[in-house]
Structure 1
Amino acid sequence: MNKRCLFGTVLLMGAIGTFSSPLRPVLAGSPPPLIPREVLFGNPEIAGVSLSPDGQRIAYLAPSGGVLNLWVRDLDGDAPARVLTQQRDRPQRAASWTADGRYLISSRDAEGDENTVLVRIDPKTGEATDLTPAKGVKAILVAGDQDAPSELVVGLNDRDPRFHDLYVIDVNNGQRRLLYRSTDDGRNVSVDWIDGVWQPVLRSQVLPDGGSAWELRPPGEADWRPFLKFNFEDTISGSGPSAFTRNGQWLYGILSTNEEIPRLVRWSRDHLKTCGDTCTPELVYRASAGALGGALSDPDSGRPVALNEVDLRRRLVVLDPSIQPDIDQLKRLAGTNDFGVVDQDLNDRRWLVVVGSDDRGPQYLLWDRDLQQSRRLFSVQPRLDDYTLRPMESLNLQARDGRRLPSYLTRTALGPDQGPRPLVLLVHGGPQARDYWGLNPTHQLLANRGYHVLSVNYRGSTGFGKAHLLAGEGEWYGRMQDDLVDAVRWAIAEGIADPDRIAIMGASYGGYASLAGLTRDPELFAAAIAEVGPSNVRTLLESIPPYWESARVIFERMIGVGSVDLDAISPIRHVDRIQRPLLLVHGANDPRVKLSESETIAEAMVARQLPVDFVVFPDEGHGLSNPRNALALTALVEAFLSEHLGGRAQPFGTVLDQSSMQWRQRALPRSGS
């Protein structure tokens, strides 16, 4: 998904006087050079790389005419790369190959409205053809198979915006036929796996209590039958079957039933024929961390051969000994850095590998399994090599009730070696999401400008076990916010953070947390920045996208609908407590958090003569897709923080004029320096 929320993961993703004068601290010693925001938030050198099924070509995004476009390049020989698309305003989205390598499949929406259109692109000519309706319909790519390379299974909500029916689309001519209507039997049931002859095999339904029920129709059988049932706790933790092997012999899944952490399991086809609704699986691997997911599968059989196990850092788990020599060699190449196999050819002889660290741009390699050799392809952000970036520390902090708070800290090199510095608390969105270790452009920008940066996986975050996730139920504005405050209090007590110069910022739920910080803990934070943040939980629930309807009960239960006073947890109801400046940012076409969520709190602050800067991007949605807009927002953020916390800032220059940004309210100085 080509979205850029500057401050964190996406959700379910006038001249007003200021209360404080600008702070301009004297910096000791020779400060490191200012990293231009274009280096961190401008166009990458290359992105969105996809390896062709025969392993002979790659498709990728790279700038052309100053805008990201789709390119294709032969991996062997010396033929130059060719640009396929000619975008000149909005960036092209990444593409993936059809199973025969004949076409590339990409997508677009209408300026952030999330009504996705699937687009077929010819890698020889660049000719583009829409495969799904061009307006008002959200298309979801569900399945493709190497045995039917000219067909795709796609979900479309053209009949009813709440439900996605499944169609088989002929990639060659765009013709489609109905495969599955989601509400034929009066229930909203989603298909979760389809076999290679396009027979729906697994389907599930969210139950009224937030639990889930799964039904099974094994390959070759005609009727559906009950298979598995999970309570709310296991459903939101991700328990469930995932996929059959290509021959239908094994069904794999991830379960956390009766346990705190997940495990990989499988059911045999023979067992599924006789076990009814009491199908006990075979254990394949029991995790030692709170998150477990697939890292690599055999392209011929479809069975998993490696897993990712993630806590504060990621660990690769090998299931198939035949790939161990390859993994050992890649580990030696990566050193202390993380690496992952992001694509592979159908013969499983060439792997596309990315190596990532916390202080350098990602590097792409081509790994040849036959030769046991790597070949460097490119760096995503080579201009970063001209600058010294700051390391990201992994921390286990503690909440006031003893709960572990996995966190990440990046310290600035500006100022004296000892003593507290300004701190920015960067809150991830979701809230059922998480922060990760690695290169974080926002961390690096802020550290370069003179701030320590702290990211906290507060309760309700995913990836740290079932109990940590479920501890967030009904805790918006409550213990989830307490966790953020406790992390800041730790930084103050440790002499890391200057208690008078602390800001909170985030996007989506992180934007909500920023608004909550200003209203719930008004004396702790000197300033706040909220991008696409809901200010009123009641109106947020009233306006969620219709295609989220099937999961509404889970969303509402995590918020605490029915047990929590929605007005009491809505920052708009506590505007009278705000004491410090706020920067509000919103995409006009956001379908998840409506523009009115920012408009109402801006109006309330203006009515109370409170300091607010409010900007709107008319061609964006829930996050920023256009790098020009991302650069403008970055410029605003650093100017706002410089004004209220005292760090450095690159002057605006012409960056605001080159974006679509519109001022609704303005308190910042117009120079931006």
Structure 2
Amino acid sequence: MKIVHTIFRISLIVFITNIMTHNIKSYAIDKKNELIPKKVLFGNPDKASVAVSPDGEYISYLAPYNGVLNIYVAPINNIEQASPITNNKDRGISAYFWSYNKEYIVYLQDQDGDENWQIYGVHVKNKKEKKLTNFQGVRAEINNLSEKFPNEILVSLNNRNKELHDLYKLNIINGKLTKIYENNDFSDIITDDTFKIRLALKQTDDGGSNIYKINSKLNKKLFYKIDSEDINTTGIVGFNKEADSIYFIDSKNQNTAALYSLNLKDNKKQLIYSNNHVDVNAVLLHPTRKSVEAVSFNYLKQDWKIIDQGIKKDFDYLKSKMKGELNIVNRSLDNKIWIIADIQDNFPVSYYKYDSDKKKADFLFLNRQDLKKYKLATMHPVVIPTRDNMELVSYLTLPFEVQSASHNFKPLEKVPLVLFVHGGPTARDYWGLNLVHQWLSNRGYAVLSVNYRGSTGFGKEFINAGNGEWAGKMHDDLIDAVNWAIQQDVTEKDKVAIMGGSYGGYATLVGLTFTPDVFACGIDIVGPSNLLTLLKTIPPYWKPALNSLKLKLGGDPETEEGIKILESKSPLNFASKIKKPLLIAQGANDPRVKQSESDQIVAAMKAKNIPVTYVLYPDEGHGFSKPQNRISFYAMTESFLASQLKGWSEKSEDDFKGSSLIIKEGSNLKN
């Protein structure tokens, strides 16, 4: 197992009645499909993060134990014997890795969403756990694991300098921590399989980045310059077996990011794969030979390009077995056992164990078994034109009741629409099983997710078209998508809500302040309201990438001109224009978008006597990790949407059980 290194561091008025209206349908369509319980959609998955051990003897996954996600392990050929090896009782475990000594699994855990991750080790057989890093207010990151050092891993800690991470060797058996590099310069340090420091990255003043070669004496030499326009489409994938070349995704002198081999001695680049339409999405390396076997790319849906013909029979067989997209989750070190995921848009994720010697795939389990009982909606990929002739790859999901017999994106009749905006903004929406899409469409809404300019995957010109366009052309793209949906008779002009988290929350606030007549209501989840304070309160370990962030937002908070630009793009300064219902949800421990971002706009609305509903989760961060908190939030949201757009709402006595939710302002949507 490898840790892939990249340079991507950095993505009402509430007029609600006190009497909750459940199962209402004020528009024309009749409810034929059963309401899917929120606990089925947003409770813990049955299985997640499935992996095979490096020696191929065990399978592991995350699953609920006493209602909390924990790590389960079973013999690869006897999954029925799976048992939990951890006993987390709070937030649950979200990320773990097999060590190469076969006996230990390491996992990461933070405190109430603060993202100050600490590293734990657990013995697979005796289930004894150790906290391998124990630093208050320090963020631990796993730098590398290697089969050459089965008892050790490389970790990065910002315990000395909050802005930069020093590199340590950590013995996972006895917990010994040994510093091997004190970092005073770099945002990222790249090591090879021998745990030698080979490369390091440092951002430049213009928002680009320099890659330095690090020799055995830890001296640096400039190796490769990444221009600011390429910063989001360039990254190091890994080393070849000899560690004399790197596999490198790069967009220099072209629009889309291609895969190259880059020689560390003579700097020669050799093209491996390029796609003129989209960026390289993922690279499949052989576990031990470290050769490139396949490359994935994604425009409307994911596809693969075979590089090593020796793997073609495997792919041909697996594609014949899959009903949706083929995803290779991980493989054993000898390449015999693969864990495969079949991703569909209207069915739970299906996991398989594939034996590459026998060319045989055996079904393992679904990620959400209970979801199989319900009819799920189809997600339609659509391409929406913008007013300035760009193309927005988008995804539209319709309620089952208005899906046409031909299963195209045109509904049988108009329905309310929720514009669901992704965060980042250097991220993107994908085709596949989207639980929010399924939930909202099941409640009677069309759901539209848009890869607006600034989104990743479609070339650097598309990403960089978003620079400085927060509340500008990025928002125009969302408005163009809404107008498209109206023109295509998907929805009506006064029946559109906007909703999203992080940047999507910001887009919601922009929607209700800069275009106050477009949306019927908005739901802001951990969204920034003031770009000045956003930049001044970023986590300290983001500061090495601050110049790139300034470039994206279009202003420098340290200059008079920059302050004016940022103020002109901050919804806080236009709060008086809000005239449509707004629901705001925030995690109190969010390190990226501080609680103060929500507090500020709520205070500004109160000062103008503009109603707002504001809910706070004191044990959450940038999003809601605990299932009881997720369910309570979605319960409030669907009640809010039902009151505004007249969709359906599920009433459950358990919606708020165990949740930490605090209603800071506004209507009590729990009643």
Q: SS of the residue aligned with 2:348?
A: coil
Q: SS of the residue aligned with 1:418?
A: coil
2-structure distance, mates of 1:245, 1:263: 17
Letter paired with 1:494: Q
1:526 pairs with one of 501, 515, 520: 520
Q: SS of the residue aligned with 2:121?
A: strand
Instruction: Report Cα offsets for 1:202-240 as digits up to 9, x if no partner.
Output: 11211111111112246x7875322111211012322x4
Partner of 2:110: 109
Partner of 1:255: 250
Instruction: Report Cα offsets for 1:389-410 as digits up to 9, x if no partner.
Output: 1111111101111111111100
TM superposition score normalised by structure 1: 0.93
Letter paired with 2:304: L
2:495 pairs with one of 478, 481, 501: 501
Shift of 1:152: 0.7
Q: 1:359 to 1:582 in 2, by over 3 A?
A: same
CA contact (8 A) 1:49 1:94 kept: no
Match status 1:209 vs 2:206: yes
1-structure distance, mates of 2:9, 2:370: 31
Letter paired with 2:477: D
Partner of 2:371: 384
Shift of 1:18: 5.3
1-structure distance, mates of 2:579, 2:438: 29
CA contact (8 A) 1:106 1:118 kept: yes
Match status 1:244 vs 2:239: yes
Q: SS of the residue aligned with 1:433?
A: coil
Instruction: Report Cα offsets for 1:70-117 as digits up to 9, x if no partner.
Output: 111112247621111223332133421101211000011110111100
Match status 1:343 vs 2:330: yes
Partner of 2:11: 13
Structure 1 unaligned segments of length 5 or more: list them. Answer: 1-9
Partner of 1:587: 587
Letter paired with 2:257: P
Q: 1:670 to 1:174 in 2, by over 3 A?
A: closer
2-structure distance, mates of 1:90, 1:215: 39
Higher mean C-alpha deviation, range 247-256 or range 423-432: 247-256
Instruction: Report Cα offsets for 1:147-180 as digits up to 9, x if no partner.
Output: 1111111000000111100001111111121111
CA contact (8 A) 1:359 1:389 kept: yes
1:233 pairs with one of 209, 226, 229: 229
CA contact (8 A) 1:70 1:94 kept: no
1-structure distance, mates of 2:170, 2:88: 26
Partner of 2:407: none
CA contact (8 A) 1:50 1:95 kept: no
Match status 1:361 vs 2:348: yes
Shift of 1:610: 2.1
CA contact (8 A) 2:42 2:631 kept: yes
CA contact (8 A) 2:18 2:667 kept: no
Higher mean C-alpha deviation, range 243-252 or range 572-581: 243-252
CA contact (8 A) 1:290 1:466 kept: no
Match status 1:455 vs 2:449: yes
Partner of 2:387: 400
CA contact (8 A) 2:615 2:662 kept: yes
CA contact (8 A) 1:18 1:611 kept: no
Shift of 1:12: 4.6
CA contact (8 A) 2:233 2:249 kept: no
Q: 1:370 to 1:621 in 2, by over 3 A?
A: same
Shift of 1:429: 0.3
Partner of 2:190: 193
Letter paired with 2:666: R
2-structure distance, mates of 1:609, 1:412: 37
1-structure distance, mates of 2:548, 2:626: 32
Shift of 1:24: 4.5
Shift of 1:28: 3.7
Instruction: Report Cα offsets for 1:632-670 as digits up to 9, x if no partner.
Output: 111011111001111000114232242111110122554
Partner of 1:6: none
Partner of 2:293: 305
Structure 2 unaligned segments of length 5 or more: list them. Answer: 1-7, 404-410, 557-561
Partner of 2:641: 641
Match status 1:267 vs 2:229: no
Q: SS of the residue aligned with 2:492?
A: strand
2-structure distance, mates of 1:579, 1:222: 59
2-structure distance, mates of 1:303, 1:293: 17
CA contact (8 A) 2:44 2:64 kept: yes
CA contact (8 A) 1:122 1:128 kept: yes
Letter paired with 1:541: L
2-structure distance, mates of 1:221, 1:232: 30
1-structure distance, mates of 2:314, 2:401: 42
User: Which consecutive segments of 4 or more residues in structure 1 shift more than 6 A?
Assistant: 19-23
Instruction: Report Cα offsets for 1:301-323 as digits up to 9, x if no partner.
Output: 22221111111211111111111
Partner of 1:128: 129
Partner of 1:658: 658
Partner of 2:3: none
Partner of 1:375: 362
Letter paired with 1:659: S
2-structure distance, mates of 1:78, 1:149: 25
2-structure distance, mates of 1:122, 1:543: 39
Q: SS of the residue aligned with 2:81?
A: coil
1-structure distance, mates of 2:77, 2:402: 50
RMSD, aligned α-carbons: 2.2
Instruction: Report Cα offsets for 1:524-576 as digits up to 9, x if no partner.
Output: 10100000000101010110000001000000111001456111111010011
Instruction: Report Cα offsets for 1:320-345 as digits up to 9, x if no partner.
Output: 1111100000000014x101111100
Q: SS of the residue aligned with 2:294?
A: strand
Partner of 2:4: none
Instruction: Report Cα offsets for 1:498-533 as digits up to 9, x if no partner.
Output: 111110000000000000000011111010000000
CA contact (8 A) 2:12 2:582 kept: no
Higher mean C-alpha deviation, range 373-382 or range 650-659: 650-659
2-structure distance, mates of 1:145, 1:11: 23
Shift of 1:14: 11
Shift of 1:37: 0.8
2-structure distance, mates of 1:156, 1:78: 36
Letter paired with 1:179: I
Letter paired with 1:50: A
Shift of 1:609: 2.7
CA contact (8 A) 1:15 1:667 kept: no
Q: SS of the residue aligned with 1:497?
A: coil
Q: SS of the residue aligned with 2:231?
A: helix
CA contact (8 A) 1:617 1:660 kept: yes
Letter paired with 1:244: F
CA contact (8 A) 1:20 1:644 kept: no
Q: 1:499 to 1:222 in 2, by over 3 A?
A: closer
Q: SS of the residue aligned with 1:154?
A: strand
2-structure distance, mates of 1:604, 1:79: 56
1-structure distance, mates of 2:284, 2:90: 36
Letter paired with 1:474: G
Match status 1:140 vs 2:132: no
CA contact (8 A) 2:13 2:582 kept: no
CA contact (8 A) 1:236 1:554 kept: no
Letter paired with 1:37: K
Q: How does 1:622-633 map to 2 (within 5 A)?
A: 622-633=622-633
User: How many positions carry a matched residue from both structures?
Assistant: 648
Q: How does 1:495-574 map to 2 (within 5 A)?
A: 495-562=489-556, 565-574=565-574
1-structure distance, mates of 2:14, 2:502: 26
Q: 1:189 to 1:94 in 2, by over 3 A?
A: closer
1:424 pairs with one of 418, 425, 430: 418
CA contact (8 A) 2:398 2:441 kept: yes
Q: SS of the residue aligned with 1:168?
A: strand
Q: 1:171 to 1:18 in 2, by over 3 A?
A: closer
2-structure distance, mates of 1:357, 1:295: 21
TM superposition score normalised by structure 2: 0.93
